[in-house]
């Protein structure tokens, strides 16, 4: 008897599984809050030099703000006031003629800047000493017990980052916040997938990913009303304070594979009771569970090194790493460059968030028909195609719409990759495999803001890089083994040997 057979007997998608998902969704909603928060807390509002130092005469003091800016601040080629330069003396002649100011002497801002507070009351740029490069660097850098630790780390450092006054400390706080959030992201997916049967894995994966979309939709709304960056961080971190982790079950698969059959029997019995299947578990003793997942050495501790010790698993690790890196680069390249589409920041973020919902439906209806590999490859390829076409479209609604379409496909790729990767790695190293893949994605996230800076050298360079990365990841995805209708592997030996397909029948049983 396999674990999936036991799961089918206690109902692999009943009230127990639904309750577990709901408990995990509360914390998962905060993930997009923090990963995309940089668009709002690190936004650089329109600004110009503080010209109060030129108020040495009544003539200057009696002028309107627009007149003061005209005689004190040089104009850029686009007609907007220069952000970093000013005239050393007031140029009163500019009030009466349109003299070309290109030959006028200018100096760097002498007394700081004045920021436009129309959209944001305050951001990092207005209160913390950072520059353009630093602003782009900020945010890039047993299941149950680790999940609890992740909650504590994310909440503690999340709130701490809201009350820092210098960039170095803020960066450290955000780094550890990211570590905690990464743990939440990985463990919640693994925990849910390990508790559901084969037939409902796709459904659960898609449902679980909808909390990301919900968080993405809520973020611009919250940011619109909470326009102070410190309060915004506190508001988006607060859901992590809710005490619900104690009701989250441990993974019975993981417990059995680690020889803890009594605890596994306890959680399976809880599952059976909630799902009204008590009779089956009353007839199954803990000792029988030890034969469900056969492990050569129950005391063996698995690590990341085990991902590269055997040929098949090593190949999976290499390819999933490339797919996650390319996907994360292109996804966050689109998500973090929303100012580059020429529409209001909050509106663009809302459009980009809402478009994620149909992407989930796209994955749900295709992943079981065309398989994981081709769904993964197809969504990545379409992402790259949208980025490529957008290179030749001027800023405006059409560009925003096509960018949103690319965002839709990239989010679909992310929805698929969590399910696909979870199914590829065996139970004994599933968290390690997903953790390694997530680490590769974080490298991609760290690199993507730096790629955005390439636009200073050539306007299409960053789009070219993101496009190539998406296409490359799509090609590599085809090389991974298909996992549709296949039992979750429990041991490394299961991966190295050819796994037979398990077809879920209407009565919930499995045939090989």
Burial group, residue 336, by CB count within 10 angstroms (0-12, 13-18, 19+)? buried
Which range has the top average pLDDT, 139-148, 152-161, 242-251? Answer: 152-161
* pLDDT (average), residues 235-257: 81
- Residue for token pair 């410190």: 230
Dist. CA 324–CA 473, nearest whole Å: 8
Would you state the pLDDT for residue 377? 96
Q: Encode pLDDT of 304-328 as tens digits.
A: 888 999 999 999 999 999 999 999 9
Distance CA(381)–CA(466), nearest Å, equals 11
Neighbours of 226 (CB within 10 A): 17
Q: Are 172 and 201 in contact (CB under 8 A)?
A: no
* Ranges 91-100, 205-214, 502-511, most confident: 205-214
pTM of the full predicted structure?
A: 0.69
How confident is the model at residue 130, as a pLDDT? 41
Residue 133 has pLDDT above 50, yes or no: no
388-442 residue pLDDT tens: 888 888 777 777 788 788 888 998 998 899 999 999 999 888 888 888 998 898 8
Q: Per-residue pLDDT averaged across 129-157, rounded?
A: 63
Q: How confident is the model at residue 331 (pLDDT cuts 50, 70, 90)?
A: confident
How many Å is the Cα radius of gyration of the chain?
Answer: 27
Pair 224, 217: CB distance under 8 Å = no
Structure tokens at 487: 């039992």
Task: Answer whether 433's CB lies under 8 Å from 320's CB.
Answer: yes
Residue 114 in this model has a pLDDT that exceeds 60: yes
Query: If you average pLDDT over residues 39-68, what whole number do you get?
Result: 67
- Look-up: residue for tokens 């989010």? 411
* Cα→Cα distances 320→117, 118, 231, 384, Å: 44, 44, 38, 18
- In degrees to the nearest 10, what's the CA dihedral of 99, 100, 102, 105? -10
pLDDT band at 255; cut points 50, 70, 90: confident
Query: Which domains are present in the chain?
Result: 1-34+135-298 (1.20.1250.20), 47-115 (no CATH), 300-499 (1.20.1250.20)
User: How many CB atoms sit inside 10 A of residue 56's CB?
Assistant: 10
Q: Binning pLDDT at 50, 70 and 90, where does residue 512 land?
A: very low
> Could you give the 3-state DSSP secondary structure of residue 442?
helix
Q: According to the model, what pLDDT value does residue 199 have? A: 85
């Amino acid at each position: 008897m396999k674990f999936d057979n036991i799961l089918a007997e206690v109902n692999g998608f009943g009230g127990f599984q639904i309750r577990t998902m709901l408990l995990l969704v509360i914390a998962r909603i905060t993930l997009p809050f923090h990963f995309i928060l940089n668009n709002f807390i690190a936004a650089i509002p329109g600004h110009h030099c503080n010209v109060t130092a030129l108020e040495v005469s009544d003539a200057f003091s009696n002028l309107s703000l627009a007149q003061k800016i005209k005689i004190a601040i040089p104009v850029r080629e686009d007609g907007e006031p220069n952000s970093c330069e000013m005239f050393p003396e007031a140029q009163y002649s500019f009030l009466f003629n349109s003299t070309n100011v290109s030959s006028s002497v200018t100096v760097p801002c002498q007394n700081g800047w004045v920021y436009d507070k129309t959209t944001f009351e305050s951001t990092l740029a207005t209160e913390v000493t950072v520059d353009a490069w630093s602003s782009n660097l900020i945010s890039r850098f047993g299941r149950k017990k680790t999940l609890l630790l992740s909650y504590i780390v994310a909440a503690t450092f999340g709130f701490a980052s809201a009350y820092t006054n210098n960039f170095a400390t803020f960066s450290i706080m955000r780094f550890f916040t990211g570590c905690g959030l990464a743990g939440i992201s990985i463990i919640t997916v693994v925990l849910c997938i390990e508790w559901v049967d084969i037939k409902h894995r796709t459904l659960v994966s898609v449902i679980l990913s909808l909390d990301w979309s919900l968080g993405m939709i809520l973020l611009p709304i919250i940011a619109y009303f909470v326009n102070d960056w410190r309060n915004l961080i506190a508001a988006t971190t607060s859901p992590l304070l809710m005490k619900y982790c104690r009701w989250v079950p441990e993974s019975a698969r993981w417990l059995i594979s680690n020889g803890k059959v009594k605890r596994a029997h306890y959680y399976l019995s809880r599952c059976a009771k909630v799902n009204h299947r008590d009779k089956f578990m009353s007839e199954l003793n803990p000792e029988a569970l030890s034969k469900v997942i056969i492990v050569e050495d129950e005391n063996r501790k698995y690590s990341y090194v085990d991902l590269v010790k055997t040929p098949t698993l090593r190949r999976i690790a290499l390819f999933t790493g490339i797919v996650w890196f390319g996907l994360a680069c292109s996804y966050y390249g689109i998500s973090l460059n929303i100012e580059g589409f020429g529409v209001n920041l909050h509106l663009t973020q809302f459009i980009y968030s809402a478009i994620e919902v149909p992407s989930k439906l796209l994955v749900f209806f295709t992943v079981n028909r065309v398989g994981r590999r081709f769904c993964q490859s197809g969504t990545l390829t379409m992402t790259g195609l949208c980025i490529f076409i957008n290179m030749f479209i001027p800023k405006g609604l059409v560009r925003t719409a096509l960018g949103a379409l690319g965002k839709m496909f990239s989010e679909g790729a992310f929805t698929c990759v969590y399910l696909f990767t979870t199914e590829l790695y065996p139970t004994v190293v599933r968290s390690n495999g997903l953790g390694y893949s997530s680490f590769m994605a974080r490298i991609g996230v760290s690199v993507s803001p730096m790629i955005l800076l390439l636009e200073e050298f050539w306007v299409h360079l960053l789009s070219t890089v993101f496009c190539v990365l998406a296409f490359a990841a799509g090609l590599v995805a085809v090389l991974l083994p298909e996992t549709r209708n296949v039992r979750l592997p429990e041991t490394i030996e299961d991966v190295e040997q050819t796994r037979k397909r398990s077809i879920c029948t209407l009565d919930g049983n499995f045939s090989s």
